[in-house]
């Protein structure tokens, strides 16, 4: 696994811009007033499929050989990555097999199915599904796409950060939700190449903190995996993003699931933005950072908007209580 460079991100953008619109980085006056600094939202929830991961799927499928596509592609996901690979396979003519945990977000499951992928339900969480997909790839000869340890996926999702620094060149800090780490490592690659003074903060649920522990302890670690925010729900760290984060991440912020739920409601109330749990985590990280951000210009990545009605209802109940 080779760490992507900024040049790889520019190459990825040439592919991705054929299929995806550029998303806005919009200023929120009410959130700015709330935190005492200038808050911008990177609205990747507005992308087709409602999540940032669509960027990575397009980049990796565009770079696969004809033989790899003909063999069929398999991956594992809690939802958004699966949508991304299914969508890209649909565009590039490859058969997609997506392993998902039982009880996966039904909105994301239906979206993956509608894109023509074959769904393979296995286990109670993402890591169970991932291990199952890896076994099937070996048995059946499919081209396995790791959800995180893929340089082309990281380069693809890093186009998000490239747009941020172009739209807000004087940004002081970018807050990125972290599940597997592709988004946060991509942001580090871009910012530290263009302007090393820009701080990058990863935000993860303390209920699924393997990424944080891996970064803190300097090697891949496992941890409990209990968060409701399925986009953050990984029980292990991953080598490729960890190698980038160890070198370049400025800090890691753990937030509670209730803090994520509160941020879902704040995004609705103050920014007219409907985010899923992972999509609201970056704002939760900004709020938790408190006074050190007063007077700063910051961007919260709204990574996705695929929230179920039940998740929304529970968030509102928690926020009101």
| Catalytic annotation, residues | 53, 303
Long-range pairs of 138-143 with CB within 8 A, sequence gap ≥ 24: 140/72, 140/74, 141/71, 142/71, 142/72, 142/73, 142/74, 142/97, 143/64, 143/68, 143/69, 143/71, 143/72, 143/73, 143/74
CA distance 52 to 230: 14
The residues, ordered by sequence, that sit 6+ positions from 197 with a Cβ below 8 Å of its Cβ are 172
Listed residue (152, 216, 205, 160) closest to 184, CA to CA: 160
Start-to-end CA distance of the chain, whole Å, equals 47
Listed residue (266, 312, 319, 308) closest to 33, CA to CA: 266
Listed residue (14, 2, 277, 278) closest to 156, CA to CA: 14
The residues, ordered by sequence, that sit 6+ positions from 65 with a Cβ below 8 Å of its Cβ are none
> Do residues 108 and 306 make contact, with C-beta atoms less than 8 angstroms apart?
yes
Listed residue (50, 62, 70) closest to 114, CA to CA: 50
- Residue 3 per-residue DSSP state: P
CA distance 98 to 196: 37
> Do residues 126 and 77 make contact, with C-beta atoms less than 8 angstroms apart?
yes
> Do residues 73 and 305 make contact, with C-beta atoms less than 8 angstroms apart?
no
């Amino acid at each position: 696994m080779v760490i992507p460079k900024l040049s790889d991100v520019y190459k990825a953008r040439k592919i991705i811009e054929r299929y995806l619109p550029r998303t806005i980085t919009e200023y929120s006056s009410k959130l700015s007033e709330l935190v005492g600094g200038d808050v911008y939202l990177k609205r990747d929830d507005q992308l087709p499929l409602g999540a940032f991961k669509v960027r990575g799927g397009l980049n990796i499928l565009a770079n696969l050989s004809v033989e790899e596509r003909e063999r069929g592609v398999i991956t594992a996901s809690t939802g958004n990555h699966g949508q991304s690979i299914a969508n890209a396979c649909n565009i590039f003519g490859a058969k997609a097999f997506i392993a998902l945990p039982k009880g996966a977000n039904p909105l994301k499951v239906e979206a993956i199915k509608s894109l023509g992928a074959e769904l393979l339900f296995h286990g109670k969480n993402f890591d169970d599904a991932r291990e199952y997909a890896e076994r099937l790839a070996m048995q059946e000869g499919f081209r396995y796409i790791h959800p995180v340890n893929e340089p082309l996926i990281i380069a693809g999702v890093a186009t998000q950060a490239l747009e941020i620094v172009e739209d807000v060149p004087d940004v002081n800090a970018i807050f990125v939700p972290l599940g597997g780490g592709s988004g946060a490592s991509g942001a580090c690659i871009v910012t530290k190449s263009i302007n090393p003074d820009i701080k990058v903060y990863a935000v993860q649920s303390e209920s699924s903190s393997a990424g944080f522990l891996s970064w803190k302890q300097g090697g891949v670690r496992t941890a409990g995996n209990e968060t409701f925010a399925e986009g953050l729900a990984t029980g292990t760290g991953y080598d490729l993003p960890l190698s980038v984060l160890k070198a370049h991440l400025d800090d890691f912020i753990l937030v509670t699931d209730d803090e994520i739920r509160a941020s879902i409601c704040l995004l609705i109330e103050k920014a007219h933005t409907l985010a899923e749990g992972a999509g609201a985590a970056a704002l939760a990280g900004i709020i938790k950072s408190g006074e050190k951000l007063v007077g700063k210009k910051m961007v919260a990545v709204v990574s996705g908007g695929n929230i179920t009605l039940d998740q929304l209802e529970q968030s509102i109940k928690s926020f009101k209580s």
